[in-house]
Structure 1
Amino acid sequence: MLRSLPRATTALALGVAAVVVTAVPSAAAPVQNWRDVSPPNSDGSVLFDIETTRGATWAVGVHSDETTRPSAPVALRWTAKGWQAPPQPADHGRLDDLAAGAPDEVWAVGYRHEPVGESDWDRGRALLQHWDGTRWSEVHPPFPAQATNTYLSAVDVDAAGSVWVFGSFTDADGEYTSALFRGDADGEGDLTRLSGDTGLNWVAELKATRGGIVYAVGDGISRFDGTTWTKQNLPATLDTALFDGIETRTANEIWAVGHQRDDTLWRRPVVVRYDGRAWSTVAAPAETGQLFDIAFDGLGRPVVVGETMDPEVNPAGNYVLTPGPDGSLTRSEEPPGAGFLYAAATDAAGRVWTAGGAAGAEGGVSPSAYAGIRR
């Protein structure tokens, strides 16, 4: 399943009357300085996340062809010579999310497959892997001994270097259960299982902030204070919004992006902002678009990435929103060669990186991996 397909398909959609957030820095003219740095020879691959820290940039995803049965994880490291692919713990599976606390503290999550007999594969199980600056190794979260159908969907590293991982499993009674795991940054300490009772049906991404506060986004937004999860109060028109990305600009400014189902548009972009007191809607175009991630450039301006299935909006499929002169988000940038975009991150130089699939998708499936840099 690629992210160009809906993460959840049961939510109903409502129209949204967006409010302009004038505190967003804006530019008089759009920035179009994107450079295509896609990994070569990546046919059959797509990148789901990209992260950068202290000069280290990683991207993760999946590769599918007749040799990978059913798929193979992808983890790429950017170097002065381009992308490298160090060996990984799992030969079969996929990686959905990535977190980088330092060049030698990188984490990735997803699931792995193992062969069953000569012609079949298991249903998959959770995969958590850690990069120590030299190699990837697998780390085993403390799921209950009788847990089945284990899966990890999100990971983040906080300012203190602790890693936070969100996942799910089926318990001994056959009940679906969510779990939050926390561990030391060195990758050697034990992970501790905490409450995963977010009040959400699924979690797409975590954002760990100072003081041990963690936000989760999925079919809503929830906040963890170290003990208890509290589902956040969003504007009433967003009761059915689905979120895939979350990012902090300052300690009291948090943004989340996603979409709503729309009878006319299919998917309609949704952006919300928390100002330390309440969540409000940020104005976005009323057109077909699905948002997956957000980053802030060197001037503090949001860059929101996603996809559109409407060729009249963009036949290449990429969908990028940046603030216009009035502070509302507008579609004015198009990274060359990009198709569906699933991830964004900002490096120490203020450059925005994005990743996903290359242009030319057929049936919602990208032909190869894409990565780009915006200076």
Structure 2
Amino acid sequence: MPRSTAGSHRLKSRLPLAVLLAASLAVSVAWTGAESLTWTFVDPPITTARPSLNSLAALAPDSVWAVGRDAEGAVATHWDGTTWTPTPVTEMAWLSDVSFTGPSAAWAVGGGVKPGAHAAAWDGSAWSAARTPLPDAGDRRPWLTAVDALDGSNAWAVGNTGAVGIPDGVAFLERWDGTEWTLVEPDVPDDVTAFSLSDIDVVAADEAWAVGTAYTAGAARPLVLHFDGTAWSVQDVPGQEDGNLTATTVVEGVVYAGGFTSLGGPVEAKPLLLRLDGDVWTPVKTPEDTSWWYGMVPDGRGGLLMTGYTRGSSLVLRFDGETAVIEPGPVPDGYATIQAVSLVPGTTRIWTGGRSETPGRELFVAYTPGQ
């Protein structure tokens, strides 16, 4: 059944404030022969005050969910091919991610109005908040970043006690077994002083991947966690100092993790794409244009697409298994961030959404013409 590809996905999209403030250099876009994607815009899914679009879940060409927040709280709204229809989500302050296992079954996660209510379930007619056990975070307020559901009795979510991309706080996982959510606190190396998790992809009951960033004395390095059906373990990702992983997906059995590598400070970064070759994580050669990357989905052609931005435009990175290229995203001129991305299952159509400074595109949603 269709699953959200925002984490297989996703955004995945969740842009930390420190990185949003970092984009100050323009990118020189390189494209090597393949035709660039074209984009069709639709009405924005949230039109009330202070909108934020955080995740998309494309179930079919005429069935897409968008989640985020407005001035009143969490928002979940459905596109039927013509219009967006909002549905109430009570007890939630915002939604950061959503994952569907079918038209009438989904989990959305984010931050709760009441402590502990950080997830909401969709049953085909309504959203209902569910309590999730949270770690003891002192004065901090934990929140859930990403979710991926395999079926009605198997879903995982990742959360953080600090801001993603900021070297403080720790991350945690939550497991849904069909009856309740259970807190899982992963073991990390002793030298890790703080860590965050940004994305999760559940492949099977005995295989899941979570990615983020680990910090040692303030220095960043990629963090990959693997679940084998029994326990989570930290993967060895050698030679990627100052790397930050923000998204993960599996394409035709190959596991990918992506994000960006900081270059000498917070205002410069370049793409980071890793692939699991056997038991070894290896870097994929990408253009080194100054840019930041937060979302990743399969492209429906055996490759993948990453979403990112620079101060000059939104961007997409396309990788066909051999070559990675960068091209402008749906908003090519002016500051724009893609905060959500999803592939329509069984097609090559990709949906994106985000924010920009372009008049009329302050909150945008667009899709490619893929079939």
State how far apart, in whole Å, the 2-side matches of 1:145 and 1:290 are. 32
- Residues 356 and 369 in structure 1, CA contact (< 8 A), matched pair in contact too: yes
Query: How far off its partner does 1:205 sit?
Result: 0.9
Give 2:127's match in structure 1, choosing from 124, 132, 136. 136
Mark the CA change 1:146 to 1:347 in structure 2 (over 3 Å): closer, same or farther. Answer: closer
Q: What's the counterpart of residue 96 of structure 1? A: 96
Among 136, 153, 156, the alignment partner of 2:148 is 156
Change over 3 Å in CA distance of 1:27–1:351 after alignment to 2: farther
DSSP-derived class of the 1:283 partner? coil
Matched residue, 2:299: 297
- Quote the residue 2:290 is aligned against: 288
8 Å CA contact retained: 1:285, 1:329? yes
Measured after TM superposition, the shift of residue 359 of structure 1 is 4.1
Instruction: Write the deviation string for residues 75-110 of structure 1: whole angstroms up to 9, x where unpaired.
Output: 22111222221111136x221122111111111111
Partner residue of 2:231? Answer: 228
Q: How many residues align?
A: 323
Q: Distance in 2 between matches of 1:43 and 1:319?
A: 26
How far did residue 147 of structure 1 move?
8.1
Is 1:214 the counterpart of 2:217? The answer is no
**Correspondence for 1:30 among 21, 28, 35:** 35
**Deviation by residue 1:112-139 (Cα, 9 ceiling, x = unmatched):** 346xxxxxxxxx7652111111011101
Rate the CA distance shift 1:180–1:332 in 2: closer, same or farther, 3 A: closer
2:66 counterpart residue number? 59
Residue matched to 1:205 = 199
Corresponding residue SS for 2:279: coil
Instruction: Give how far 1:184 is off.
Output: 4.0
Q: Between 30-39 and 152-161, report the one with greater CA deviation.
A: 152-161
**Correspondence list, 1:189-268, <5 A:** 189-197=179-187, 201-219=195-213, 220-236=223-239, 238-251=240-253, 253-263=254-264, 266-268=268-270
Distance of 2:206 and 2:138 partners within structure 1: 27
Give me the identity figure in percent.
23
* Higher mean C-alpha displacement, 267-276 vs 46-55: 46-55
1:76 is aligned to 2:83: no
Partner-residue secondary structure (3-state), 1:350: coil
Amino acid at match of 1:235: P
Separation in 2, partners of 1:308, 1:54: 30
In 2, Cα distance between equivalents of 1:43 and 1:160: 34
TM-score w.r.t. length of structure 1: 0.75
Output the CA distance in 2 between the equivalents of 1:250 and 1:239: 28
- Relative to structure 1, the CA distance from residue 166 to residue 126 in structure 2 (aligned partners, 3 Å threshold; closer, same or farther) is farther
Partner of residue 220, structure 2 = none
Shift in Å, 1:360: 3.2
Query: Which letter does structure 2 place at the counterpart of 1:31?
Result: S
Deviations 1:296-340 (A, max 9, x none): 22212211101112xxxxx2x30111137x933222243147820
| Alpha-carbon shift at residue 54 of structure 1 (Å) | 5.3
Structure 1 residues 257-282: Cα deviation after superposition (integer angstroms, max 9, x where no partner):
11121127612211111133321111
Please tell me whether the aligned partners of residues 43 and 367 of structure 1 are also in contact (alpha carbons under 8 angstroms).
no
**Structure 2 counterpart of 1:29, which letter?**
A
Alignment partners' CA distance in 1, 2:180 and 2:230: 19
Q: 1:43 to 1:320 in 2, by over 3 A?
A: farther
8 Å CA contact 1:30, 1:332 repeated in 2: no
Q: Which amino acid aligns with 1:182?
A: R
Q: Distance in 1 between matches of 2:126 and 2:152?
A: 23
Gap change, CA 1:344 and 1:302, over 3 Å in 2: same
Counterpart position of 1:121 = none
Check conservation: 1:44, 1:368, Cα contact below 8 A: no
2:364 alignment counterpart: 370
- Kindly provide the CA deviation profile for residues 200-227 of structure 1, in whole angstroms up to 9, marking residues without a partner as x: 7111111111232221111011112233
Render the CA deviation track for 1:139-186: whole Å, top value 9, x for unaligned.
11234799873322221112676111223569xxxxx7654222245x
Q: For 1:266 and 1:144, how far apart are their aligned partners in 2?
A: 33
Check 1:270–1:242 CA distance in 2 against 1; reply closer, same or farther (3 A cut).
same
Residue 277 of structure 2 corresponds to 275
Pair 1:4–1:329, CA change in 2 (3 A): farther
1:319 aligns with 2:315: yes
Residue 256 of structure 1 deviates from its aligned partner by: 1.3
Q: 1:161 to 1:50 in 2, by over 3 A?
A: farther
> Once the 2 structures are TM-superposed, how far is the Cα of residue 293 of structure 1 from its aligned partner?
0.9
- The answer on whether the counterparts of 1:337 and 1:359 sit within 8 Å (CA) in structure 2 is no
1:182 paired to 2:183? no
For residue 5 of structure 1, report the CA deviation from its aligned partner.
2.7
- Structure with higher Rg: it is 1
Change in CA separation of 1:7 and 1:152 when aligned onto 2, cut-off 3 Å: farther
Give the partner amino acid of 2:59.
Answer: T
Residue 229 of structure 1 deviates from its aligned partner by 2.3
TM-score (norm 2): 0.76
Structure 1: tracts of 5 or more residues without a match: 10-25, 115-123, 171-175, 310-314
Q: Aligned partners of 1:353, 1:150: CA distance in 2, in Å? A: 29
User: Is the 1:36–1:371 Cα contact (8 Å) retained in structure 2?
Assistant: yes
State how far apart, in whole Å, the 2-side matches of 1:146 and 1:308 are. 34
Residues 256 and 273, structure 2, Cα contact 8 Å, conserved in 1: yes
